[in-house]
Structure 1
Amino acid sequence: MGEKWARGAIVMLVLVTGWYCSCCCGCLEEERIALLNLKHSIRPPTGNVLASWERHGDCCKWVGIECNITTKRVIKLSLSSLLIILGIGTLDIGFMKNEGLERLSSLSNLKVLDLSYNQLNNSILSSLASLSSLKVLNLAFNEMEGSLHNPELVALNELKKLDLSNNSVESFMAPKGIKRVSSLSNLEVIHLLDNSFNNTTLSSLGGLPSLKILDLSRNKLKGILNIKELVALNNLKELDLSENEVESFVAPKDSHTLKELEVLLLEGYSLHNNFLQSIGTLNSLKVLSVSNCELNGTLPSRGWCELKNLEELDLSGNNFEGILPSCLGNLSYLHVLDVTFNHFRGNITTSPFTNLKSLEYLSFSNNNFQVPNSFSMFANHSKLKVLMGDANNLVPEPLLQTPTPKFQLIFLSLSYLALKEPPYFLRHQNVARAVDLFHNNITGGLPSWLFMNNTALKGLRLGYNCISGPLQLPAQRHFNITILDVSGNSLQRNLPINMSSVFPHLKTLIMSKNSFEGQIPTSFGDMKSLESLSLPNNHISGNIPDSFGHLSLLSYLDLSNNWLSGGIPELLVSGCPLNVLRLSNNNLEGQVFPLLFNLTKLSVLKLGSNNFEGNIPEFSSINSFYPQIIDMSNNHISGKLPRWMGNISSLQGLSLAKNHFEGLFPVEFCGLHFLEFLDLSSNYLSGSIPECFNPIGIEYVHLSNNRLTGPLTKAFSRCSSLETLDLTRNNLTGIIPGWIGSLPLLSFLLLKANYFEGEIPVQLCQLNKLKMLDLSQNNLSGSIPFCLSNLTFEALVSSNQISYWTTGSEIEMIGSLVKKSRKKLAETGKKLAEIAIDHSKYGYELIKVEYWVEFTTKGMSHVYNGSIFRYMSGIDLSCNRLIGRIPTEIGYLNEIHALNMSHNKLTGPIPTTFSNLKQIESLDISYNNLSGRIPPQLIELNTLAMFSVAYNNLSGPTPDQKAQFGTFDESSYEGNPFLCGAPLQINCTKIESPSVLTNVSNYDRENNGLIDMSAFYWSFVVTYVVVLMAIATVLHINPYWRRAWFYFIEVCITSWHGTTGAVEAAVPCALLHIASTLLLGSKEVIFSRFILMSVQGTILLQFNVIAILSAEVP
């Protein structure tokens, strides 16, 4: 007996001694030295990243290292994201081929190695060959590419999980085949998503007999994909082929192929409609997702309905329609079902949903279902945890005998349902953690009973309902509420001062678009957990409280569109880690710089439309101020544009419009490589635009209403993403460069009111995205390019807003509500996160920068933005020196809304093809030299609201006073003397169009009437000479006619003595007659008398012609 006790004591002593030594000594010295050598080989020095890796420390306690509890051998090493943390250009681990990470060979028991996010290339594999014990290898998010045919990968024969996601690997094919891949016989999980693998990859993976999980999503699989190529993978359980370019997926024809497959994800495919009918052979499937696969029509009742083991089904994001087939109700094991974003219809009460009693997660949002407001059809679904039925058709139903539900929901979303009150079954819910009733017609006040019944409630969304009156908070304190949204209601009076005491742990508070008034309570500064505060679009006045400086977690603050006054508190800037600051459209004043330089985490700064003033100081460098968006437009800021802004490499949007900036466009702005939006309009900027200004991603440029000069040379020439270029009202000169036609996305080209000259470049015809072209008020000459008809002027698909995601402080997502067994379908946490992300209100916030353009139409200048922006289109070539005919091809711009070619020198007729301009609203071709008739077909233009052909040489009748032409008055036709018909006062029976009309310039017409005086003088001289010589010749030859002519002239002179104008005509004749008599003698006197009489007659004839023409001029 004593011997047994002795032996036991010795064993215990050995164990205790071993435990003590392991605790004191820590990791093995050999492994510690290897890790230290690895640290020293990483260049540049890692600073604080590996600061815990000290020479005399226990490596088991170092960051990124995990040891076996018993043996103290290193079993896990994480070197992920060293590159990102260090912010260096490359991760130089100091090896040519095997130098550096080969030191890891000393870690003979290493099981897990994470080298993700380090920009490593294929050569890293040669340093891993000795790690034969490795079971998990993560090389995701690196720069590996091409074929992985290195023999070192095969040496990892114990590997069970390999992650090569987000690289550029194309294949595993080796020069001599695929044997190297087949050597990884123990590999169970391989993640290859987001690479460049093609269809041959499926067969090359056939030599992995132990493979259970294969992820090939987001690769380059194309065409027809036959699942039989994976027939050798007998143990495969999960297969993800989502988001490839596969056109057809061929399911197996027998149940023996992939008989173990339980999860099949085919999201983002272009599947044929018969796919669901052929999927029935995969009878082991438990999870099937075909979301966003362009499926349409009605759901078949064969194939997929035979998957009796199905537990999760995702049919969302397709175009299914009709009624759900009854066979869906036979899938008794189904606990997750998502049919959102389809066109299903029918009453939920009679749908298969009622038979699926195992459901835990049900989403049927965004369909055409009829949903009774009692929701009694789900009363017996005792396992239901998540219910989402947004955007369907509510059906009123009596609530007299509504059964008590057996379920206890964790999350409920019933937005966009036109509910007039919260669903009655909510009164029986006790464990709800998030309720979303956004955008309904709920009246009354805040439902206090909801807080009382659900003490675990974290988020309540009641935005955009009909809640009115003052905001009455619950009487009790609720410690779990972190998100409250009451935006877009009719709440009035003052903000509640007890908000911080009732909801002490509130993180996100949204109260925008109400009618709150008064000042912001200083008690808001007591909400120590507050991260996001949104109070825009109210009637709040007074100053921004200094107490906001106590909100040490506040990252998002929006007080825009109120009546706030005073300055920005220094405590707010110094005490809050603001990521987003929005104070636009208030009455704030004072100087904001250098105060705002203290906001070192700022991403978005919006201070537009206030009364801020002063200069923005110039600094040699700004090391801690790197916002993405700066909007300080419509203030009173003056001075020069700060050059340091050109060093903000993160800047994406800059708006300093409507201020008093002057001086040159800073050449430093050429360094803004990520700029997307630039608005410097309505300032006093001068000089030329630097040629180097070519941000590759810029989309919108507004430099109008400045004093910019010089030609438009190479600036913007490489901006392939440019959509709007607005340079109106500057002093730019030279020709319009042809490279503008190479900007493929240009939609708005506005060059109005400059000094551009030369012809309109034909390269503009290549801008097939163009919506508005304004070249008016320049010195352009030449003809209008007929190829402008190539422009389509189609309506924009995108809205007129640029969106930027900016990361604020991380908001705690509202729990994992359903225990997820698979990758995608039960992502309830994601849905709940939308409460913390929605619109521009929460920690991860979507910033929207609205853009605009100014364009002249219907005789007035309009600023287009908002929803109408995407539909407006037009061409304005007015006030130039364009000549020639209007190309008939212009009439084929059938999507154009405004066309202005007035005040030019255009000739010829109005093209009859203008009748094809079916969308035209404004047509102005006045003040030209157009001739001919106005095409009567123009009365077919039913959308025409403004029409002018004034001051041309048009003739004939005006168009019938029908349709839109019945609304145009005389001003549309004035200045055309040969036009007749209503609304003009000239009857068409009293006027004849001349066969030939002389084309005259606008200048002569407007200043000298219809007669070209130069032509008149020359005609007078020619007529006089011809008539005189002809008469003189005849009378000189024939004496009889000569005597008769003299007698006739003497009689005429005698009779003219009493007529009007006789004195003016006779005086010069008499003087000439006397002079001839004295100088020439009798014979010559006879001839001179003849000449004088002829002159007198010709003069009188000319005066009569003038009188007649003058009388016909209106």
Structure 2
Amino acid sequence: MKSKSDSERWRQIVKVNIQDAHSVEFYEFKKLKTLNLADNNFDKGIFKSLVAFPTLRSLDLGFNPIKGDLDDKVLSDLSKLEVLYLANAGINGILPNQGLCKMKLLQELDLSLNNLRGTLDACLDNLTSFRYLDVSFNYLSGNVTPFLAQLTSIKFLGIGFNNFEDIFSFNSFANHSNLKYLFIGNMKVETENPPWVASFQLEELRMSGCEINLPAEIPTFLSNQTSLIFLDLSRNNLVGNFPSWLLMNNPNLEALYLFDNSFTGPFELPFDKKHRMDQMIALSIRNNKLQGELPNNVGFFFPRLEFLDASNNEFDGPIPASIGEMSFLVELHLGSNNFSGNVPEYILNRCSSLDMLMISNNQLNGTLLSTIRKRKLTFLAASRNNIEGAITDEWCQHEFLMLDISYNKFSGALPSCFKMPGYLFLQGNNFTGTIPELFMSNHYRASAIDFSDNKFTGTIPNSVYKLWSLRFLLLAGNHLQGQISSQICQLKYINILDLSQNNFSGSIPACFSNMSFGNVTVPFYATAREKPFSPIPLVVMQLRTKNLHLSFGSDRFQLLSELDLSCNQLTGEIPHQLGDLNGLRSLNLSHNHLNGLIPESFQKLQNIESLDISNNNLSGQIPLQLQDLHSLAVFNVSYNNLSGRALEKGQFCTFDGSSYKGNPYLTWDTCKSESSKPPLQPTLLPDEVEEENSEIDFNAFCWSFATSYVMVIVALVTLLWFNPHCWRMWFYFVEVCLPKALLWI
């Protein structure tokens, strides 16, 4: 505790960073007015101790594991509070309206990031002195518009990401002249009808993931806003051209997020040199439909930009050289466009702060050698371009968190000094030689290695087995050989292991059952508390399964679990211990030399969606217990030596003969197999449905045949009578064909 001077003694502030509330002598602070206990480990019992502070006016218990519900009695004991912060405290249950309504002096309330349900009670309308209210990220419901219309003194309002019904009308803010901060998200919003005039000047507007108007255009009231510092209109499916007027009207704008919309046309900026955005720090226009080239003056217009994301658009042409004027730039995202030309080395000459360069999925060529020499990047993603060269010793000076140069034209061997990044994607190149010993730097944990589709030789280095935090190891499509070492089972947190299309031999290690394959969830990123709204890097992983190339973001990694040992030279029996991998979704052991029986323990693979053990030497019957695999969508045991009958219940009723062919002693009669398909039945007319089992009416058949015969003769005679050419052709036909026909009699 710091004691203030006599003139400030009325406002004593305590910031406590402890784990046990009872270790503080609370009774020494009789005149305490402000208490900040945020970011500790207090539970709900802390409220019993707060009676010791009769003069307390401000309390912050945010980011503590308070948990449980917040009853009315607790709030009644705090009725003299003017400020109450309980953000992200694990509070659930019904919103305690009655307790809040007794806090007549309350001016600031933060209940965001909890699990509260219920509605905002009418009695809260009496708390007209509210100047700060944040109930965002809960499960509140009801119609919030009438309640908000009464809060005319509000300055900070956050109601986003709840379950509010009805359409929220901006007209309710017509008298809110003090409003400075507004957070609305995941709501149906009407900004135009009925017409209204904004009496406020916002500094921050966060309106994300909403259904805004019809059609979804930028709200017109923003044309009169000139004091904006932060503007987020992301994920609203907004249409129209890029709103450059927002920049001209708000010269003090620091952050503009327009990503995940449907803006079209060029990305136009004012060409007037007087309209530079000197305060702009972050700009995201990702995932729109913007076209053409990036403006040549983009670097001049945003000289202090730290974050620029223009990825997932339709930009083409070269990357503007003026980006090199952004000396403060930390993150540059230009991926998934049609940029062409060489890798922009000129940018890196002056972007001295650059830490993240994302240029994947373009048409860039050249090399990255200059990039590596000039900057020590943490994130580098340049996959799916035409970049060439080799990874030389100069790359060893970097300590990457993520390096993705997959699907390019890199070649050569990896240097022995190369440090293992957290995420390393080299697949789809022409790398040769052996895989060097990969050791982690002191800063990151290894999460993913993908060396697929190269020309690596030799064996898996022992250092890989020491990367205990590894979640993904993909080495498919190389020339690796030797036995699969049991040391690989040290990778206990593995989700995907793909060693397919190599020359591995020997038996399958039984210790695979010690690996998680989806049973353990380890977080990949933690949201930065100091910058809760800053964009978080999303690692994208390219996976190949069943000859399909799929992309997965790091937010979905935990949903993937696969073991693929196909297309090798493996021998021996399938270890029954593989049945213990109950988190596994895909198992592929096909195209090997495995023998023995299909393990009955596969019954325990309750999450399995794809099981392929085809093209081996397996024998015996398909275990009856596999009928319990209700999630199975792909099943293939073809080209083995199986016998007996295939399974015919549950999911197995959906598999056709392609799942079983090549087993001469195996029979199947499943509901989709060719052998069991019933003959096609003729389509019956409505009045014939009742007679579908009756025999053909022979008299009707004779009459219809005679009628058709007469019609053909009449048509032929008519044609010959009126067309002499056809008449001559007929006699020629009779003269030539009749003798030949007589020879067959």
Superposition pairs for residues 762-777 of structure 1, below 5 Å? 762-768=510-516, 770-771=517-518
Contact 1:210 1:233 in 2 (8 A): no
CA RMSD of aligned residues (A): 4.4
Give the one of 669, 684, 692 matched to 2:430.
684
For the pair 1:716 / 2:516, whether they are aligned, the reply is no
8 Å contact from structure 2 (residues 180, 201) kept in 1: yes
Cα contact 1:296–1:321 (8 A) shared by 2 = yes
The structural deviation recorded for 1:924 is 2.4
Distance 1:188 1:906, change over 3 A: farther
State the shift of 1:343 in Å. Answer: 1.9
User: 2:391 maps to what in 1?
Assistant: 641
Would you say 1:652 and 2:398 are equivalent positions?
Answer: no
Q: Measure the CA separation in 2 of the matches of 1:333 and 1:972.
A: 71
Alignment of 1:939-950 (within 5 A): 939-950=627-638
Question: 1:15-59 CA deviation, whole Å, 9 max, x = no partner?
Answer: xxxxxxxxxxxxxxxxxxxxxxxxxxxxxxxxxxxxxxxxxxxxx
1:195-214 paired onto structure 2 within 5 Å: 212-214=12-14
Q: Match of 1:245, SS? A: coil
Partner of 1:863: 550
Q: What's 1:131 paired with? A: none
Structure-2 change in CA distance of 1:758 and 1:259 (3 Å): same
Distance apart, 1:710 and its partner CA: 3.2
**Alignment match, 1:340:** 136
Distance 1:641 1:537, change over 3 A: farther
- Contact 1:481/1:505 (<8 A) preserved: no
Question: CA 1:262–1:458 in 2, change beyond 3 Å: closer, same or farther?
Answer: closer
Structure 1 gap segments, 5+ residues each = 1-135, 137-158, 162-185, 190-208, 380-403, 509-528, 772-791, 806-823, 825-829, 840-845, 988-1114
Q: Partner of 1:898 in structure 2?
A: 586
Cα shift at 1:231: 1.5
Number of the residue aligned with 2:663: 976
Separation (CA, whole Å) in 1 of partners of 2:226 and 2:346: 46
**Would the alpha carbon gap of residues 489 and 869 (structure 1) be closer, same or farther in structure 2, given more than 3 Å must change?**
same
- Quote the residue 2:743 is aligned against: none
Is structure 2 residue 19 aligned with structure 1 residue 220?
yes
Query: Are 2:292 and 1:541 equivalent residues in the alignment?
Result: yes
Give the direction of change, closer, same or farther, for the CA distance of 1:305–1:450 in structure 2 (3 Å limit): closer
What are the Cα deviations for residues 950-998 of structure 1, in whole angstroms up to 9, with x where unaligned?
Answer: 33343333333x55434433333233333335267999xxxxxxxxxxx
Residue 548 to residue 216, structure 1, CA distance change in 2 (3 Å): closer
Say if 2:30 is the partner of 1:234.
yes
In structure 2, the residue corresponding to 1:851 is in which secondary structure? strand
SS of the residue 2:412 aligns to: strand
Give secondary structure in 1 for the equivalent of 2:76.
helix
Query: 1:296: how far off?
Result: 1.8
Q: How many Å apart are 1:647 and its aligned residue?
A: 1.3
Please point out which of 324, 327, 330 is paired with 1:579. 330
In the other structure, the counterpart of 2:249 is 478
> Identity across aligned pairs (percent)?
29
Q: Is 1:693 aligned to 2:439, yes or no?
A: yes
Counterpart of 1:665 in structure 2 is 414
Say yes or no: does 1:427 pair with 2:197: yes
- SS of the aligned residue for 1:365 comes to coil
302-311 or 743-752, which moves further after superposition?
302-311
Letter in 2 for 1:605: L
1:853 aligns to what?
543
Superposed, 1:956-1105 pairs within 5 Å as 956-960=644-648, 964-982=651-669
Give the length in aligned residue pairs: 667
Would you say the 8 A contact 1:664–1:687 is kept in 2? yes
- Could you say if the C-alpha distance between residues 475 and 343 of structure 1 is closer, same or farther in structure 2, counting changes exceeding 3 Å? closer
> How many Å separate the matches in 2 of 1:864 and 1:495?
28
Report the TM-score, using the length of structure 1 for normalisation. Answer: 0.52
Give the deviation of 1:298 after TM superposition. 2.0
Distance in 2 (CA, whole Å) between partners of 1:230 and 1:407 is 41
> Gaps (5+ residues) in structure 2?
677-745
* Separation in 2, partners of 1:603, 1:742: 33
Aligned to 1:626: 376
State the AA in 2 paired with 1:220: Q
Structure 2 CA distance, aligned partners of 1:580 and 1:318?
A: 32
**Distance verdict in 2 for CA 1:660–1:921, change over 3 Å:** same
Distance across 2 between alignment mates of 1:445 and 1:921:
40
CA distance in 2, matches of 1:931, 1:695: 48
Q: What is the identity, as a one-letter code, of the residue corresponding to 1:341?
A: F
Task: Verify: 1:410 aligned to 2:158, yes or no.
Answer: no
Equivalent-residue separation in structure 1 for 2:204 and 2:370 (angstroms) = 49
| Structure 1 equivalent of residue 212 of structure 2 | 441
Q: Which residue identity lines up with residue 143 of structure 2 in the other structure?
A: N
* CA shift in 2, pair 1:918/1:711, >3 Å: closer
Give SS of 1:369's match.
coil
The Cα of 1:909 is off from its aligned counterpart by 4.3
Q: Tell me, yes or no, if structure 1 residue 607 matches structure 2 residue 356.
A: no
Counterpart-to-counterpart distance in 2, 1:614 and 1:474: 37
CA distance in 1, matches of 2:194, 2:614: 67
What's the offset of the Cα at 1:931? 3.9
Distance 2:614 2:451 in 1: 30
CA distance, structure 1, for counterparts of residue 238 and residue 119 of structure 2: 36
- Distance verdict in 2 for CA 1:963–1:575, change over 3 Å: closer
Q: For residues 109-142 of structure 1, what are the alpha-carbon distances to aligned partners after superposition, in whole Å with 9 as ceiling and x for unaligned?
A: xxxxxxxxxxxxxxxxxxxxxxxxxxx9xxxxxx
Code of the aligned partner of 1:365: G
Aligned residues of 2:157 and 2:183 also touching (Cα < 8 A): no
**1:506: Cα distance to partner?**
3.9
Deviations 1:201-253 (A, max 9, x none): xxxxxxxx999322113x333xxx45994113222222222232334425448
Amino acid aligned to 1:646: C
What is residue 288 of structure 1 aligned with on the other side? 84
2:515 partner amino acid:
L
Distance in 2 between the 1:950 and 1:535 partners?
Answer: 46
User: How many Å separate the matches in 2 of 1:312 and 1:695?
Assistant: 46
Counterpart in the other structure of 1:1092: none
- Provide the rounded CA distance (Å) in 2 between the counterparts of 1:904 and 1:657: 28
CA positional deviation for 1:603:
1.8
Give CA deviations for 1:482-501 in whole Å, capped at 9, x if unaligned.
3655554444444556x345
Post-superposition offset of 1:572: 4.4
For residue 716 of structure 1, give the secondary structure of its aligned residue in structure 2.
Answer: helix
Instruction: Work out whether residues 335 and 360 of structure 1, in 8 Å CA contact, stay in contact via their aligned partners in 2.
Output: yes
What are the equivalent positions in structure 2 for 1:295-334 lying under 5 Å apart?
A: 295-300=91-96, 306-324=102-120, 328=124, 333-334=129-130
Aligned mates of 1:712, 1:804 — CA distance in 2: 35
2:382 partner letter: M
Question: If the length of structure 2 is used for normalisation, what is the TM-score?
Answer: 0.75
Question: Which residue number in structure 2 is paired with residue 9 of structure 1?
Answer: none
CA distance in 1, matches of 2:662, 2:583: 30
Q: Is the 8 A contact 1:280 1:305 kept in 2?
A: no
Instruction: Quote the residue 2:451 is aligned against.
Output: 703
Query: What CA deviation, in whole Å up to 9, does each residue of 1:615-665 have, x standing for no partner?
Result: 55589x95x52222222333333333132221134x322222223333321
